[in-house]
Protein backbone atom coordinates (compact mmCIF):
# COMPACT_ATOMS: atom_id res chain seq x y z
CA UNK A 1 0.00 0.00 0.00
CA UNK A 2 1.46 3.38 -1.02
CA UNK A 3 2.60 5.69 1.79
CA UNK A 4 0.61 8.92 1.41
CA UNK A 5 2.41 10.77 4.20
CA UNK A 6 4.57 13.75 3.14
CA UNK A 7 8.15 12.70 2.50
CA UNK A 8 10.97 14.16 4.57
CA UNK A 9 14.61 13.91 3.53
CA UNK A 10 16.64 13.80 6.73
CA UNK A 11 20.26 14.66 5.97
CA UNK A 12 21.49 16.72 8.93
CA UNK A 13 25.27 16.63 8.35
CA UNK A 14 27.38 18.16 9.82
CA UNK A 15 24.85 17.66 12.59
CA UNK A 16 24.01 14.13 13.69
CA UNK A 17 20.48 12.74 13.69
CA UNK A 18 20.63 11.33 17.21
CA UNK A 19 22.10 14.52 18.60
CA UNK A 20 19.18 16.70 17.55
CA UNK A 21 16.36 14.16 17.74
CA UNK A 22 15.73 12.56 21.12
CA UNK A 23 14.32 9.02 20.66
CA UNK A 24 10.71 10.06 21.26
CA UNK A 25 11.03 13.04 18.91
CA UNK A 26 12.51 10.91 16.15
CA UNK A 27 9.71 8.39 16.62
CA UNK A 28 7.22 11.24 16.30
CA UNK A 29 8.82 12.37 13.03
CA UNK A 30 8.52 8.84 11.64
CA UNK A 31 4.87 8.60 12.71
CA UNK A 32 3.87 11.78 10.93
CA UNK A 33 6.04 11.56 7.82
CA UNK A 34 7.67 9.15 5.44
CA UNK A 35 11.33 9.68 6.30
CA UNK A 36 14.25 9.05 3.96
CA UNK A 37 17.04 8.84 6.50
CA UNK A 38 20.36 9.96 5.02
CA UNK A 39 22.08 10.59 8.34
CA UNK A 40 25.12 8.61 7.25
CA UNK A 41 24.52 8.50 3.49
CA UNK A 42 25.98 11.68 2.01
CA UNK A 43 25.86 10.48 -1.59
CA UNK A 44 24.30 12.69 -4.22
CA UNK A 45 22.49 9.68 -5.65
CA UNK A 46 20.38 9.05 -2.56
CA UNK A 47 19.49 12.72 -2.22
CA UNK A 48 18.60 13.17 -5.89
CA UNK A 49 16.45 10.05 -5.91
CA UNK A 50 14.32 11.37 -3.06
CA UNK A 51 14.02 15.02 -4.12
CA UNK A 52 11.13 14.71 -6.62
CA UNK A 53 8.71 13.59 -3.88
CA UNK A 54 10.17 15.57 -1.00
CA UNK A 55 7.92 17.79 1.11
CA UNK A 56 10.86 19.00 3.19
CA UNK A 57 14.61 18.67 3.41
CA UNK A 58 15.91 18.66 6.97
CA UNK A 59 19.59 19.48 6.74
CA UNK A 60 22.13 21.47 4.77
CA UNK A 61 22.82 19.66 1.47
CA UNK A 62 23.75 21.70 -1.58
CA UNK A 63 20.56 22.76 -3.33
CA UNK A 64 21.36 24.76 -6.47
CA UNK A 65 18.66 25.76 -8.94
CA UNK A 66 18.70 22.50 -10.91
CA UNK A 67 18.11 20.41 -7.80
CA UNK A 68 15.31 22.69 -6.67
CA UNK A 69 13.74 22.41 -10.12
CA UNK A 70 13.70 18.64 -9.62
CA UNK A 71 11.74 19.03 -6.38
CA UNK A 72 8.28 20.31 -7.37
CA UNK A 73 6.66 19.22 -4.09
CA UNK A 74 9.29 20.81 -1.85
CA UNK A 75 7.81 23.22 0.68
CA UNK A 76 10.54 23.58 3.29
CA UNK A 77 14.30 23.47 3.69
CA UNK A 78 15.14 23.28 7.38
CA UNK A 79 18.67 24.17 8.40
CA UNK A 80 19.53 22.27 11.59
CA UNK A 81 23.16 23.41 11.89
CA UNK A 82 22.29 26.90 13.09
CA UNK A 83 23.68 29.05 10.28
CA UNK A 84 22.47 29.76 6.77
CA UNK A 85 25.15 28.86 4.22
CA UNK A 86 25.61 30.04 0.60
CA UNK A 87 24.92 26.53 -0.75
CA UNK A 88 21.28 27.08 -1.68
CA UNK A 89 19.91 29.07 -4.60
CA UNK A 90 17.81 31.22 -2.33
CA UNK A 91 16.07 33.32 -5.03
CA UNK A 92 14.95 30.13 -6.78
CA UNK A 93 13.76 28.61 -3.51
CA UNK A 94 11.71 31.67 -2.66
CA UNK A 95 10.32 31.86 -6.21
CA UNK A 96 9.12 28.25 -5.88
CA UNK A 97 7.36 29.05 -2.62
CA UNK A 98 9.81 27.05 -0.54
CA UNK A 99 10.25 28.19 3.04
CA UNK A 100 13.87 28.27 4.17
CA UNK A 101 13.89 27.84 7.93
CA UNK A 102 16.61 27.94 10.57
CA UNK A 103 17.02 26.70 14.11
CA UNK A 104 19.33 29.40 15.46
CA UNK A 105 16.92 30.42 18.20
CA UNK A 106 17.30 26.97 19.79
CA UNK A 107 20.76 28.01 20.96
CA UNK A 108 19.82 31.47 22.25
CA UNK A 109 19.25 30.68 25.91
CA UNK A 110 22.33 28.49 26.19
CA UNK A 111 24.57 31.08 24.52
CA UNK A 112 23.12 33.97 26.52
CA UNK A 113 23.64 32.14 29.81
CA UNK A 114 27.20 31.31 28.80
CA UNK A 115 27.85 34.94 27.84
CA UNK A 116 26.57 36.03 31.24
CA UNK A 117 28.87 33.48 32.87
CA UNK A 118 31.86 34.81 30.94
CA UNK A 119 30.96 38.35 31.97
CA UNK A 120 30.77 37.45 35.65
CA UNK A 121 34.04 35.55 35.40
CA UNK A 122 35.71 38.47 33.63
CA UNK A 123 34.35 40.83 36.28
CA UNK A 124 35.50 38.81 39.29
CA UNK A 125 38.44 36.71 38.06
CA UNK A 126 36.83 33.41 39.04
CA UNK A 127 38.69 31.11 36.65
CA UNK A 128 41.90 33.15 37.00
CA UNK A 129 41.94 32.62 40.76
CA UNK A 130 41.03 28.96 40.33
CA UNK A 131 44.09 28.51 38.13
CA UNK A 132 46.22 30.38 40.66
CA UNK A 133 45.03 28.20 43.53
CA UNK A 134 45.76 24.99 41.63
CA UNK A 135 49.38 26.07 41.22
CA UNK A 136 49.75 27.31 44.79
CA UNK A 137 49.61 31.00 43.89
CA UNK A 138 46.22 31.91 45.36
CA UNK A 139 45.60 35.24 47.07
CA UNK A 140 43.02 35.98 49.71
CA UNK A 141 40.27 38.53 50.38
CA UNK A 142 40.89 41.96 48.86
CA UNK A 143 44.32 41.03 47.53
CA UNK A 144 42.66 38.65 45.08
CA UNK A 145 40.09 41.25 43.98
CA UNK A 146 42.31 43.93 42.49
CA UNK A 147 40.43 45.25 39.45
CA UNK A 148 37.25 43.32 40.28
CA UNK A 149 33.97 45.04 39.43
CA UNK A 150 30.23 44.46 39.80
CA UNK A 151 27.83 43.75 36.96
CA UNK A 152 24.96 45.16 39.01
CA UNK A 153 24.18 48.71 37.93
CA UNK A 154 26.86 48.65 35.24
CA UNK A 155 26.70 50.27 31.82
CA UNK A 156 26.28 47.42 29.34
CA UNK A 157 26.66 47.53 25.57
CA UNK A 158 25.13 44.94 23.26
CA UNK A 159 26.15 44.73 19.60
CA UNK A 160 23.36 42.92 17.78
CA UNK A 161 19.87 42.57 19.23
CA UNK A 162 18.57 39.41 17.62
CA UNK A 163 17.87 36.14 19.41
CA UNK A 164 21.04 36.29 21.49
CA UNK A 165 20.82 39.95 22.43
CA UNK A 166 17.22 39.64 23.51
CA UNK A 167 17.90 36.51 25.55
CA UNK A 168 20.80 38.17 27.31
CA UNK A 169 18.73 41.28 28.03
CA UNK A 170 16.20 39.15 29.91
CA UNK A 171 18.98 37.56 31.97
CA UNK A 172 20.38 40.98 32.88
CA UNK A 173 17.13 42.15 34.50
CA UNK A 174 18.10 41.24 38.11
CA UNK A 175 21.36 43.17 37.72
CA UNK A 176 19.59 46.49 36.99
CA UNK A 177 22.06 47.39 34.27
CA UNK A 178 21.86 50.30 31.84
CA UNK A 179 21.78 48.67 28.42
CA UNK A 180 22.79 50.37 25.17
CA UNK A 181 22.31 48.54 21.89
CA UNK A 182 23.82 48.97 18.47
CA UNK A 183 21.93 47.15 15.74
CA UNK A 184 21.74 48.79 12.30
CA UNK A 185 19.05 46.31 11.20
CA UNK A 186 16.51 47.51 13.76
CA UNK A 187 14.75 50.89 13.97
CA UNK A 188 15.20 52.80 17.24
CA UNK A 189 11.53 52.32 18.18
CA UNK A 190 11.98 48.54 18.34
CA UNK A 191 14.91 48.92 20.72
CA UNK A 192 13.15 51.51 22.85
CA UNK A 193 10.09 49.27 23.14
CA UNK A 194 12.38 46.46 24.33
CA UNK A 195 13.63 48.67 27.14
CA UNK A 196 17.12 49.39 25.83
CA UNK A 197 18.78 52.58 24.62
CA UNK A 198 19.45 52.76 20.86
CA UNK A 199 23.04 53.88 20.34
CA UNK A 200 25.70 54.23 17.70
CA UNK A 201 28.53 51.72 17.65
CA UNK A 202 30.90 54.36 18.95
CA UNK A 203 28.63 55.22 21.88
CA UNK A 204 27.99 51.58 22.67
CA UNK A 205 31.71 50.92 22.91
CA UNK A 206 32.88 54.09 24.63
CA UNK A 207 30.14 54.25 27.27
CA UNK A 208 29.96 50.61 28.34
CA UNK A 209 31.90 48.75 31.00
CA UNK A 210 30.65 45.41 29.67
CA UNK A 211 30.26 44.84 25.91
CA UNK A 212 28.60 41.72 24.48
CA UNK A 213 29.21 41.06 20.78
CA UNK A 214 26.38 39.17 19.07
CA UNK A 215 26.69 40.59 15.54
CA UNK A 216 26.31 38.18 12.64
CA UNK A 217 28.93 37.76 9.92
CA UNK A 218 28.25 39.79 6.77
CA UNK A 219 30.54 41.68 4.39
CA UNK A 220 29.56 44.88 6.20
CA UNK A 221 30.43 43.52 9.65
CA UNK A 222 33.84 42.08 8.77
CA UNK A 223 36.31 43.46 11.33
CA UNK A 224 33.60 45.75 12.63
CA UNK A 225 35.64 45.93 15.82
CA UNK A 226 39.01 47.00 14.46
CA UNK A 227 41.84 48.71 16.31
CA UNK A 228 40.17 52.11 16.21
CA UNK A 229 36.87 50.78 17.54
CA UNK A 230 38.49 48.65 20.26
CA UNK A 231 40.42 51.72 21.38
CA UNK A 232 37.08 53.32 22.27
CA UNK A 233 36.49 50.81 25.07
CA UNK A 234 37.07 52.31 28.52
CA UNK A 235 40.05 51.11 30.49
CA UNK A 236 39.04 48.01 32.42
CA UNK A 237 36.15 47.16 30.09
CA UNK A 238 35.01 43.55 29.78
CA UNK A 239 34.48 42.34 26.20
CA UNK A 240 32.46 39.15 25.63
CA UNK A 241 32.65 37.43 22.23
CA UNK A 242 30.27 34.52 21.65
CA UNK A 243 28.90 35.07 18.16
CA UNK A 244 31.09 35.43 15.06
CA UNK A 245 34.87 35.75 15.04
CA UNK A 246 34.80 37.54 11.68
CA UNK A 247 33.42 40.73 13.23
CA UNK A 248 36.59 41.31 15.31
CA UNK A 249 40.17 42.12 14.32
CA UNK A 250 41.90 39.58 16.55
CA UNK A 251 45.35 41.12 16.04
CA UNK A 252 44.04 44.41 17.38
CA UNK A 253 42.25 42.60 20.19
CA UNK A 254 45.45 40.76 21.10
CA UNK A 255 47.25 44.10 21.37
CA UNK A 256 44.61 45.46 23.77
CA UNK A 257 44.70 42.32 25.91
CA UNK A 258 48.49 42.17 25.95
CA UNK A 259 48.59 45.76 27.16
CA UNK A 260 46.23 44.75 29.96
CA UNK A 261 43.84 47.56 29.15
CA UNK A 262 40.73 45.37 28.87
CA UNK A 263 39.62 41.85 29.82
CA UNK A 264 37.84 39.51 27.40
CA UNK A 265 35.88 36.27 27.41
CA UNK A 266 36.18 34.64 23.98
CA UNK A 267 34.26 31.60 22.72
CA UNK A 268 34.75 32.05 18.95
CA UNK A 269 38.03 32.12 17.05
CA UNK A 270 39.24 32.89 13.51
CA UNK A 271 40.88 29.45 13.44
CA UNK A 272 39.36 26.58 15.39
CA UNK A 273 40.74 24.73 17.26
CA UNK A 274 42.78 27.54 18.77
CA UNK A 275 46.36 26.99 17.55
CA UNK A 276 48.63 25.48 20.19
CA UNK A 277 51.05 28.38 19.84
CA UNK A 278 48.38 31.11 19.91
CA UNK A 279 49.62 34.09 21.95
CA UNK A 280 46.15 34.33 23.50
CA UNK A 281 47.00 31.19 25.51
CA UNK A 282 49.68 33.06 27.45
CA UNK A 283 47.47 35.94 28.60
CA UNK A 284 45.72 36.21 31.96
CA UNK A 285 43.49 38.97 30.61
CA UNK A 286 41.38 36.58 28.57
CA UNK A 287 39.09 33.66 29.36
CA UNK A 288 39.60 31.03 26.66
CA UNK A 289 36.67 28.92 25.49
CA UNK A 290 36.38 26.49 22.60
CA UNK A 291 33.17 27.49 20.79
CA UNK A 292 31.00 25.66 23.30
CA UNK A 293 28.46 28.27 24.41
CA UNK A 294 25.45 26.81 22.62
CA UNK A 295 26.33 23.17 22.18
CA UNK A 296 24.45 21.51 25.04
CA UNK A 297 22.03 18.59 24.85
CA UNK A 298 18.96 20.64 25.75
CA UNK A 299 19.62 23.05 22.88
CA UNK A 300 20.21 20.24 20.39
CA UNK A 301 17.03 18.42 21.41
CA UNK A 302 15.10 21.67 21.09
CA UNK A 303 16.04 21.70 17.41
CA UNK A 304 14.39 18.33 16.83
CA UNK A 305 11.26 19.45 18.66
CA UNK A 306 11.10 22.64 16.60
CA UNK A 307 11.43 20.66 13.38
CA UNK A 308 8.57 18.32 14.31
CA UNK A 309 6.31 21.11 15.53
CA UNK A 310 6.69 23.24 12.43
CA UNK A 311 6.61 20.49 9.82
CA UNK A 312 3.42 19.16 11.39
CA UNK A 313 1.93 22.66 11.16
CA UNK A 314 2.93 22.92 7.51
CA UNK A 315 1.51 19.46 6.85
CA UNK A 316 -1.81 20.80 8.18
CA UNK A 317 -1.61 23.84 5.89
CA UNK A 318 -0.46 26.24 8.60
CA UNK A 319 2.67 28.41 8.76
CA UNK A 320 5.68 27.45 10.88
CA UNK A 321 5.95 29.29 14.19
CA UNK A 322 9.07 28.02 16.00
CA UNK A 323 11.78 27.91 13.36
CA UNK A 324 12.93 31.22 11.90
CA UNK A 325 12.34 31.99 8.25
CA UNK A 326 15.27 33.22 6.20
CA UNK A 327 14.71 36.80 5.07
CA UNK A 328 15.21 37.13 1.30
CA UNK A 329 16.81 40.54 1.85
CA UNK A 330 19.42 39.20 4.28
CA UNK A 331 20.14 35.52 3.73
CA UNK A 332 22.48 36.14 0.80
CA UNK A 333 24.59 38.48 2.92
CA UNK A 334 25.52 36.02 5.65
CA UNK A 335 29.10 34.78 5.72
CA UNK A 336 28.70 31.90 8.12
CA UNK A 337 30.78 28.75 8.25
CA UNK A 338 29.95 25.33 9.69
CA UNK A 339 30.84 24.74 13.32
CA UNK A 340 33.01 21.75 14.08
- For residues 57-70, give the mean pLDDT: 97
Of 154-163, 212-221, 257-266, give the lowest mean pLDDT range.
212-221
Residues 60 and 91 in one domain: yes
- For residues 212-225, give the mean pLDDT: 91
Residues 159 and 23 in one domain: no
Res. 330: pLDDT tops 90: no
Residues 43 and 167 in one domain: no
| Rama region for 123: left / alpha / beta (φ>0; ψ in -120 to 50; rest) | alpha
Within-domain flag for 328:
yes
Within-domain flag for 218:
yes
> For 312, phi and psi rounded to 5 degrees?
-65, -40
- How sure is the predictor about 339, in pLDDT bands with cuts at 50, 70 and 90? low
Residues 45 and 162 in one domain: no
Residues 140 and 274 in one domain: yes
Residues 170 and 211 in one domain: yes
More reliable by pLDDT, 82 or 230: 230
Within-domain flag for 230:
yes
- For residues 184-193, give the mean pLDDT: 97
CA separation (Å) from 20 to 23, 50, 200, 216, 320?
10, 22, 38, 23, 19
Residues 112 and 197 in one domain: yes
Residue ranges of alpha helices (H) inside the chain are 17-20, 23-32, 44-50, 65-69, 90-95, 108-124, 126-134, 163-172, 188-193, 201-206, 227-230, 250-258, 297-315
- For residues 16-45, give the mean pLDDT: 96
CATH code for the domain in which residue 195 is found: 3.40.50.720
Burial class (CB in 10 A: 0-12, 13-18, 19+), 30: middle
Sheet holding 286-288, edge to edge: 197-198, 178-182, 155-159, 210-213, 238-241, 263-266, 286-288
- How sure is the predictor about 174, in pLDDT bands with cuts at 50, 70 and 90? very high
Tell me the pLDDT of the chain averaged across its residues.
Answer: 95
Residues 23 and 84 in one domain: yes
**What's the pTM?**
0.93
- For residues 50-57, give the mean pLDDT: 98
Q: Which residues pair with 102 in a beta bridge?
A: 79, 324
Within-domain flag for 339:
no
Within-domain flag for 338:
no
Residues 208 and 99 in one domain: no
Within-domain flag for 81:
yes
CA distance 248 to 269: 9
Residues 112 and 99 in one domain: no
Contact assessment for residue 161 and residue 194, using Cβ atoms and an 8 Å cutoff = yes
Tell me what pLDDT residue 338 has: 55
Q: How many domains does the chain have?
A: 2
Within-domain flag for 340:
no
Res. 340: pLDDT tops 70: no
Residues 278 and 256 in one domain: yes
Residue range of the domain that includes 46 = 7-103+297-333
Residues 217 and 314 in one domain: no
Res. 268: pLDDT tops 60: yes
The percent of residues above 70 in pLDDT, for the chain, comes to 97
Contact assessment for residue 9 and residue 50, using Cβ atoms and an 8 Å cutoff = yes
**3-state class of 213 per DSSP?**
strand
Amino acid sequence: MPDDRPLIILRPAPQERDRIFAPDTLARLHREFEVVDLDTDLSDAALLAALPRAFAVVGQPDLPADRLAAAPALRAIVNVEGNFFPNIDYPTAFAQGIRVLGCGSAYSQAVAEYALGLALDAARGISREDHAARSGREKYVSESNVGAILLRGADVGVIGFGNLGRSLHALLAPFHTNVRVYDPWLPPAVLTDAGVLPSSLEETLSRSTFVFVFATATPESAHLLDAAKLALLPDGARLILVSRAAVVDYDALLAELTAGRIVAGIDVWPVEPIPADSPFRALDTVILSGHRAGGIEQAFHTIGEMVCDDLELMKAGLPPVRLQAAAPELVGRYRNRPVG
